[in-house]
Amino acid sequence: MLQNMSIRARLLLGFGIVILFLIIVGVVAVLNVRSAQTVTVDLYTHPFTVTNSLKNAHTHIIKMHRGMKDVVLSANPEELNTTIAAVDDSGKEVYSNLKIVRERYLGPKEDVDEVVRELEAWQPIQREVINLMKTNQKDRALSVHKGEASNNVSRIERKMDAVIEFAMNKAESFYEDSMEIEEQTIRLLIVLFIAAVLIAVTVAMLITRSITTPLNKAVEVAEKLALGDMSAEIDAVSKDETGVLLRSMDRMVGSLKEMASAADKISKGEMIVNVRPRSEKDILGKSMQDMVGYLKGIAAIAERIAGRDLNVRFKPLSEKDLLGNAFTGMIDNLRGMTKDLQESVNVLATSASEILSSTTEVASSVTETATSVSETTTTVEEVKQTAQVSSQKAQHVSDAAQKAVQISHSGGKAVDDTVEKMDRIRQQMESVAESIVRLSEQSQAIGEIIATVNDLAEQSNLLAVNASIEASKAGEHGKGFVVVAQEMRSLAEQSKQATAQVRLILNEIQKATSAAVLATEQGSKTVEEGMKQSELAGDAIKALAASITEAAQAATQITASSQQQLVGMEQVISAMNSIRLATEQNVAGTKQTEGAAHNLHELGQKLKKLVEQYKT
Amino acid sequence: MNETGAKKPAVDWAEVRKRVEVTRLKIEQGWAPGLEERKKILRQRAAALAKEPERIIEEEKIEVIEFFLTHERYGIESSYVREVYPLKDLTPVPCTPPFVLGIINVRGRILSVTDLKKFFNLPEKGLGDLNKVLILSSDDMEFGILADSIAGVRTVPVAGLQKSLPTLTGVGEEYLKGVAGDGLIVLDAGRILSDKAIIVNEEV
């Protein structure tokens, strides 16, 4: 039933139910509040008024009793009269209050009547007291007042207390009544509230479910479609808006399935599909139609290419037409390739014929090679004999080299001795040089002594002159002394000459010493050079010894190599024999190659014919 | 080594040793002349003494000290020469004529030294030793003159002295006594000593 209602009607119904319950709860609450109010008013009007009136009456009774006491105690008649008037006023108040009590009192009226009766019983007593006072019988009045009047008043008070008690009890019962009504009201309201909430929740859930279930289904289908799944089944029963939506989706899925099957066929290469657009605005349908047309065009061209016709032209739809551009490129490339292929096949055919002629030549040259190989084998035999001779010679060389090694060792020792001797010579030369230098220094000392002697001679000369002067001054007696003086002078002269000669000789000695020093120095240098030369010679002889040792080793190696060479020559001979055999096989092989080249040539011719079938 | 030995005769070390030994012996003997040498000297002396002495001609002679002054020989009468002395510790004296070289100390006496070349205005020719001083003295004058070397004492005959020579230049005739036959220029010491020009008295 719910499904057949529109969503608007459903929402209205739901909210209506909730509002109805709200109204019910409100009305009940108002009614109960009203009854509670009534009880409260009763509580106020009855016990409160009754007790108030009773209390007032009681107060006035007490005032009357006190007035009567004043009456008894009054001193003069004026005072008496005023007091009596006050008592009368109070009596009136008491009656009016008791009257109200009687009207409102809910208990038995007899209780109030008893109070009234007691009041009436008190009045004659009052009158008696007043009369007694008026007749100046104060003592009797006092006794009456204290006896009968007091008893009467206490009786009245007892009766009134009973009435007040009853009224108070009545008030309590009212209070309990009102409490009960309140409890009932709360209980009723709670029940109603829970019922309203339950109903509202149920209605809300029902309505929500009736809307969301079809919507969820629609969402599920849409999700599947978004993922490209066309298998979604939609069965719409309801007549509301969701039903309409689901039915539209069903139609959409159907149309998409049709398109998908068409596309599937195209993907399998079937071009015999007919796609009709569903409306003017069916872009997908139109595109499918165009695509099928486009593919059919391409297929037709491909068929022509398959039929070896490369002269077809295809115009791409746009610059972004990948397939069209690729197809055009492919056709162009195929055309170019076929041309290249034709040229290549031509080259291949020519090459094959050239190979054929070359192979024929090779066959003849292989035969010649075979002859050469037999000649080489003979030559190798001769070489082997030569190798034997060279092996013997190498042995001789090795022996000679060993002897040379021994001789070079003794030469090295001799050179070492020479170096040692040369060193000793050098030391002796150094001591000689030192002696010569000492000699030179001593001759210098001699020179100094000679200088002194020369000086002495000079002085002697002067002395001699002075002596002769003195002698001549002495006259005849000094003549003999003149001769002595002259003799002294001549001696001095001789000394001078002798010193001059010594000086000359010393010069000669000095020159000779310098020459000797020079000679010694040169000798020393020569000895050092000799030492260096000897060391060089020693090094040379050692190097020579090393070289000779190497030579000896080399000679030994040569001997060993010659032996190996001999063995190698044997191997070469056997290898040459193998080569000869191989060459014979080569001759046979070359003849086979010749046949193959002939076949290749024929194949080239065939290929040429095949390629020429392509129209370019 | 053998080849070099063949080319050049090896040093005869025995001979060398012998020569060195001889030299050593000679040196050890000292400078005393040998027996032969001594005899030779004695013979020479005997010959010299046996020579007949020159005849003494009675003529007037003067004794002169002969000395050299830049290649020229001069003589001066020995009676005026007190002594000859080696030139030592010459002290130059300022504010003196060029011919006064300076002063020397001879055994406590201070004497002036005169250069005759400058005094006679002779040309300065070549270098001399100039290491001897002849001390001239008279009664009232005493000074030294410079000489290269002293040749000795000789006697010159007064008759042989020639009065001046046309070749002689420089030395004034007033200082010249005469020129001997062998070219010895004899100076008149008495004149030189008494010449006023040689007295220096200058006040500054």
Q: What is the CATH number of the domain that holds A100?
A: 1.20.120.30
Residue A575 and residue A465 share a domain: yes
Predicted pLDDT of residue B3: 41
Residue A409 and residue A377 share a domain: yes
Query: Where do the H-state alpha helices sit in B51-200?
Result: 116-119, 189-194
Token readout for A118 is: 């007691």
Query: Which residue type does B173 have?
Result: E
The domain boundary residue, chosen from A218, A250, A284: A218
**Residue A367 within any structural domain of the chain:** yes
Residue B44 and residue B75 share a domain: no
**Residue B140 within any structural domain of the chain:** yes
Taking CA–CA distances from B77, the nearest residue in chain A reads: A469
Residue A122 and residue A177 share a domain: yes
d(CA A339, CA A341): 5
Residue A150 and residue A283 share a domain: no
CB spacing of B79 vs A473 below 8 angstroms:
yes
Residue B75 and residue B147 share a domain: yes
A487 contact partners, CB below 8 Å, separation of at least 6 = none
Residue B93 and residue B25 share a domain: no
What CATH number is associated with residue B180? 2.40.50.180
Chain B hits for A489, Cβ within 8 Å: 152
**Residue A323 within any structural domain of the chain:** no
Predicted pLDDT of residue B5: 40
Taking CA–CA distances from B132, the nearest residue in chain A reads: A462
pLDDT at A372 exceeding the cut of 70? yes
CB spacing of A472 vs B78 below 8 angstroms:
yes
Chain B hits for A478, Cβ within 8 Å: none
d(CA A31, CA A98): 37
CB spacing of B83 vs A466 below 8 angstroms:
yes
B74 contact partners, CB below 8 Å, separation of at least 6 = B66, B67, B68, B116, B147, B184, B185, B186, B187
Strand partners, A309: A615
A256 contact partners, CB below 8 Å, separation of at least 6 = A225, A230
Q: Which of A133-137, A434-438, A609-613 has the highest mean pLDDT?
A: A434-438
φ/ψ region of B164 (left if φ > 0, alpha if ψ in -120 to 50, else beta) reads left
Residue B127: CB atoms within 10 Å: 8
- Report yes or no: A74 and A94 within 8 Å, Cβ to Cβ: no
**Residue B121 within any structural domain of the chain:** yes
Residue B17 and residue B83 share a domain: no
Residue B41 and residue B113 share a domain: no
Give the whole-number percent of chain A exceeding pLDDT 70. 98
CB spacing of B132 vs A462 below 8 angstroms:
yes
Strand partners, B144: B113, B135
Strand partners, B91: B103
Chain B hits for A486, Cβ within 8 Å: 152-153
Q: Is the dihedral of CA A563, A568, A571, A576 positive or negative?
A: negative
**Residue B16 within any structural domain of the chain:** yes
**Residue A324 within any structural domain of the chain:** no
Identify the domain containing residue B144 by its residue range: 61-197
Q: What is the pLDDT of residues A230-277, one digit of tens each?
A: 777 777 677 777 788 888 888 888 888 888 888 888 888 787 777 777
Predicted pLDDT of residue B79: 86
φ/ψ region of A580 (left if φ > 0, alpha if ψ in -120 to 50, else beta) reads alpha
Q: What is the pLDDT of residues A310-339, one digit of tens each?
A: 777 778 888 888 888 888 888 888 888 888
Q: What is the pLDDT of residues A32-72, one digit of tens each?
A: 888 878 877 777 776 777 888 888 888 888 888 888 888 88
Rg (CA), chain A: 86
* Helices A241-267 and A150-226, packing angle to 10 deg: 20
**Closest Cα in chain A, distance from residue B96 (Å):** 29
For chain A, what is the mean pLDDT? Answer: 84
pLDDT at A1 exceeding the cut of 60? no
Q: What is the pLDDT of residues A449-492, one digit of tens each?
A: 999 998 898 888 888 888 888 888 887 888 788 888 888 888 98
Edge-first strand listing for the sheet containing B142-147: B81-86, B132-137, B142-147, B109-114, B100-106
**A367: closest CA among A579, A573, A575, A590?**
A590
Residue A149 and residue A95 share a domain: yes
Residue A12: CB atoms within 10 Å: 12
**Residue A319 within any structural domain of the chain:** no
Containing A470, the helix (H) or strand (E) segment is helix A322-473
Q: What angle do CA A558, A562, A564 make, to 5 degrees?
A: 115
- Report yes or no: B151 and A486 within 8 Å, Cβ to Cβ: no
Q: What is the pLDDT of residues A90-128, one digit of tens each?
A: 888 888 888 888 887 777 778 888 888 888 888 888 888
**Residue A99 within any structural domain of the chain:** yes
**Residue B204 within any structural domain of the chain:** no
**Closest Cα in chain B, distance from residue A405 (Å):** 27
- Report yes or no: A225 and A248 within 8 Å, Cβ to Cβ: no
**Closest Cα in chain B, distance from residue A427 (Å):** 18
Chain B hits for A480, Cβ within 8 Å: none
Residue A250 and residue A116 share a domain: no
Predicted pLDDT of residue A83: 84
| Beta-sheet pairing, B185-187 with B72-77 | parallel
Confidence of residue A566 (pLDDT cuts 50, 70, 90): confident
CB spacing of B84 vs A472 below 8 angstroms:
no
**Residue B93 within any structural domain of the chain:** yes
**Based on the structure, what is the number of domains in chain B?**
2
Predicted pLDDT of residue B18: 92
Residue B45 and residue B131 share a domain: no
User: For residue A343, with 0-12 CB atoms within 10 Å meaning exposed, 13-18 middle and 19 or more buried, which class applies?
Assistant: exposed
Residue B96 and residue B161 share a domain: yes
Residue B28 and residue B125 share a domain: no
Residue B88 and residue B19 share a domain: no
Predicted pLDDT of residue B40: 92
Residue A368 and residue A284 share a domain: no
Query: Which residue type does A467 have?
Result: A
Q: What is the DSSP string of B4-66?
A: HHHHSPPP-HHHHHHHHHHHHHHHHH-S---HHHHHHHHHHHHHHHHSPPPP-----EEEEEE
Residue A393 and residue A253 share a domain: no
CB spacing of B153 vs A466 below 8 angstroms:
no
A512 contact partners, CB below 8 Å, separation of at least 6 = none
d(CA A402, CA A172): 159
**Residue B91 within any structural domain of the chain:** yes
A26 contact partners, CB below 8 Å, separation of at least 6 = none
Q: Among A383-397, A427-441, A541-555, B164-178, which stretch is predicted with the lowest mean pLDDT?
A: B164-178
What CATH number is associated with residue A534? 1.10.287.950
* Residues of chain A with a CB closer than 8 angstroms to some CB in chain B: 458-459, 461-462, 465-466, 468-469, 472-473, 482, 485-486, 489
Token readout for A235 is: 């069965």
User: Closest to B153 (Cβ–Cβ): which among A458, A459, A469?
Assistant: A469
pLDDT at A407 exceeding the cut of 80? yes
Residue A246 and residue A343 share a domain: no
Confidence of residue A501 (pLDDT cuts 50, 70, 90): very high
**Closest Cα in chain A, distance from residue B132 (Å):** 9
Per DSSP, which regions of A10-132 are E strands? none
Identify the domain containing residue A299 by its residue range: 235-307
Residue B111 and residue B44 share a domain: no
Confidence of residue A504 (pLDDT cuts 50, 70, 90): very high
**Closest Cα in chain A, distance from residue B196 (Å):** 27
The domain boundary residue, chosen from A152, A183, A218: A218
SS3 of residue A318 by DSSP = coil
**Residue B56 within any structural domain of the chain:** no
**Closest Cα in chain B, distance from residue A548 (Å):** 28
d(CA A415, CA A537): 7
Q: What is the pLDDT of residues A569-585, one digit of tens each?
A: 888 888 888 888 888 88
Average pLDDT per block of 10 residues along chain B, 204 residues long: 50 87 82 80 89 70 85 86 87 86 89 84 66 87 87 84 66 77 85 81 62
d(CA B146, CA B195): 18
Predicted pLDDT of residue B1: 41
Residue B76 and residue B42 share a domain: no
User: Closest to A465 (Cβ–Cβ): which among B63, B79, B153?
Assistant: B153
Query: Which residue type does A128 have?
Result: E
**Based on the structure, what is the number of domains in chain A?**
3
Residue B167 and residue B77 share a domain: yes
Q: Which residue of B153, B154, B155, B156 is the best one to mutate when testing the A interface, meaning the one whose CB has the most A CBs within 10 A? A: B153
Residue A188 and residue A255 share a domain: no
